[in-house]
Amino acid sequence: MSALSVLDGYRLWAPTYSAENAVSELETRLVAEMTPPLAGLRLLDAGCGTGRRLLGSGAATAVGVDLSPEMIEAGQGALGPEARMLVGDVRALPLADAGFDLVWCRLVIGHLPECARAYAELGRVAAPGARVIVTDFHPAAHEAGHRRTFRHGDQVHEVEHYVHALATHRDAAAAAGLHLADIREAQIGPAVRPFYAQAGRLALYEQHLGLPVVLALAFEKKDRCGS
């Protein structure tokens, strides 16, 4: 199967994207564990997709940016005035410096052939002392042959994806003034068994059991004193 570009892939995936799957469920749980209470914070979701994670976030202000106009359009109806979504590239965010206390970049960075420019931008828009949370499809899942796929009609499509080693994330983030504070991963397990059961694929669940599928990294932006 040849992989679709990000723009072509998410154009097709947009109408059905907001349905959860095993990876998105595990990712949501990890990010919830790593995210501080949002009340009063200025939140950016860089690569927000349909903006589903901004719904009811409780943040003081919430902004989403995504490369795919179709993804933003698909989610726009569900989001009220609680969040603003913009079309833009995480490697050139259409946002001012130091404007956010919490920045998410969720399941996006693996779509980029190199991640330094994205980290430079995440670091630029993060305020001193801000937390930046980056998640990705786990390299071990890729190594085991798993791919970023979705079903459209009766066809399964793959979206382009690149594996970035942990050291690559860490070094790119450090160059942007972001220091690694926490690393977590999520594996296929009972929390997502219902997704396999619903698809009638419990034999596959047994095969996948224990496979890490999501990697989550939390960074802190240096505060003004440099700590």
Ligand X SMILES: C[S@@+](CC[C@H](N)C(=O)[O-])C[C@H]1O[C@@H](n2cnc3c(N)ncnc32)[C@H](O)[C@@H]1O
Contacting residues toward ligand X, per CB under 6 A: 6, 10, 47-49, 52-53, 66-68, 71, 89-91, 106-108, 111-112
Closest approach, Cβ 108 to ligand X, in A, equals 4
**Closer residue to ligand X (CB): 25 or 89:** 89
What are the φ and ψ backbone dihedral angles of 19, each rounded to 5 degrees? -65, 135
For the CB of residue 184, give the shortest distance to ligand X in the complex, in Å: 16
Structure tokens at 196: 């396999």
Termini Cα distance of the chain: 47
When the beta carbons of 32 and 225 are compared against ligand X, the nearer one is: 32
Q: Given the complex with ligand X, which of 47 and 177 has the nearer CB atom?
A: 47
Distances (CA, A) of 17 to 130, 140, 160, 175: 29, 24, 16, 33
Nearer to ligand X, 128 or 168 (CB): 168
- Among all residues, whose Cβ is closest to ligand X? 49
Nearest approach in angstroms of CB 23 to ligand X is: 8
CB-wise, 107 or 125, nearer to ligand X?
Answer: 107
Nearer to ligand X, 158 or 209 (CB): 158
**Closest distance to ligand X from the beta carbon of 206 (Å):** 26
Q: Which is nearer to ligand X, 149 or 222 (CB)?
A: 149
Minimum CB–partner distance for residue 140 and ligand X (Å): 18
- Which residue carries 């034999």 as its tokens? 203
72 is written with which tokens? 């933003």
Provide the edge-to-edge strand list for the sheet that holds 126-137: 84-87, 61-66, 42-46, 100-106, 126-137, 212-221, 178-187
Task: Count CB neighbours of 53 within 10 A.
Answer: 22
What is the C-alpha separation between 156 and 59, in angstroms, rounded?
A: 36
133: Cβ contacts below 8 Å, ≥ 6 apart: 31, 34, 35, 102, 103, 104, 105, 106, 216, 217, 218, 219
CB of 202 to ligand X, least distance (A): 25
Residue type present at position 192: V
Work out how close the CB of 103 gets to ligand X at its nearest, in angstroms, rounded to a whole number: 12
Tell me the residue type at 12.
L
